[in-house]
Amino acid sequence: MTYLNVAALARDVAVQLQMTAEPGPSADGSDAWLTRSQERLRICASRAAPGSVTIIGIFPPSRHHGRARIRARITVNASRGAAAVAGEITRRLLPAYQELLADVQARNAADTAAAAARDAVAAEISASFPPGPGLPITAYRRSDCTVLYVNAACGWGQVRISGDATLVDLQLSDVPAAAALPMIAVMVAGAAGDGC
């Protein structure tokens, strides 16, 4: 069968792969989505190779695997038919794509758990200060850390909670010596190998 548009090819490929075909964003039928469980592929007309289609593995939003995603892309001559295109997807695309997808999902889950741990520590630190308008605490959440800025009448501080929140970076200014000495003792104990 000769395919006049990618949407028709995608429907037939989806049957071969036991996937679901959905129309793509283009109005002219030059692309489509193939989905199965957590897997999502985009099939589109190839600009570099007329008469061919490019199939791209789509990943969930993540701060991981920017360049590695190139491995999850193939181009196949559409005139070979749906069975051949499905075979090439199975042989050349899905193994690398499924491996990268599982890794991205695992890293995203680890990021979510680490962010929850950082949020819990940030909430505990914030709750340790007395409430009131005289002590503004500003929190900024980033992809890999949470930063708290504290302004008080007796000084200011910055707490950076990174990774899985087991350690924090603490920067203080204008802290009374009586409050600073216990913190310095913890640092000395850590430097001496006694652990923090």
Give per-residue pLDDT as tens, 73-96.
999 999 999 999 999 999 999 999
pLDDT of residue 127: 82
CA dihedral 104, 109, 114, 120 (to 10 degrees): 150
Give per-residue pLDDT as tens, 104-118.
999 999 999 999 999
Is pLDDT of 147 > 70? yes
More confident site: 35 or 126: 35
More confident site: 151 or 34: 34
CB 141 within 8 A of CB 97: no
Q: What is the pTM of this model?
A: 0.75
